[in-house]
Structure 1
Amino acid sequence: MADTCSMLCLIIVTLFIPPLGVFMISGCSTDLCINILLTILGYFPGHIHAFYLEYIYYQRSKMDPASRSMQRNAPGVYSERIQNGGHSGRGYGTM
């Protein structure tokens, strides 16, 4: 339930301000800079890019870690946080 609510809030934010939606899932990253430029060039390219990043993020967040590690990187996504679905690739203190 909480995951669905956060996804819905993120979609609503992205409808009005696409770079803010990208910032919420990727932080300050290359994907954010690309989305800002696309939004400046045209409002709809910024939306398309933002919703693509959100799709990849939520698709990968639902995968188990073994499947996620076997998955190839999504084209056009430069943030590791989005590529891993919000999960870190390696845990702290592991070898």
Structure 2
Amino acid sequence: MNCKLGDMACVVRIPDCAPDVKAALEAQLVGRFVRCVALATECAASWLIETPIALAVPCWPTTVEMTLTAIEDFCLQPVRGVPVHDEQLDEVTA
């Protein structure tokens, strides 16, 4: 799995689906940040997110409004900082 419990993550991809739906979801989700708060019990390798996201998905001849409460782990890239040290240990002295 990419993420761990409590991670902040960026949505970097959308699962395969109909091209028009995928385009709409990419426009609304890719680049958004979410916090992973628990593993989703309904779907393996998915995370419940802290703040649900309202989506508008095209479904000919209309648009369906829905709320995203979980997202698959493979769609996420965790945001983790680089450890900070008081002293740079790998510097080369001149």
**Structures share a fold, TM > 0.5?**
no
User: Bigger radius of gyration, 1 or 2?
Assistant: 2
* TM-score, normalising length: structure 2: 0.29
**Higher strand residue share:** 2
* TM-score, normalising length: structure 1: 0.29
Q: Bigger relative contact order, structure 1 or 2, given CA contacts below 8 A and separation 6+? A: 2
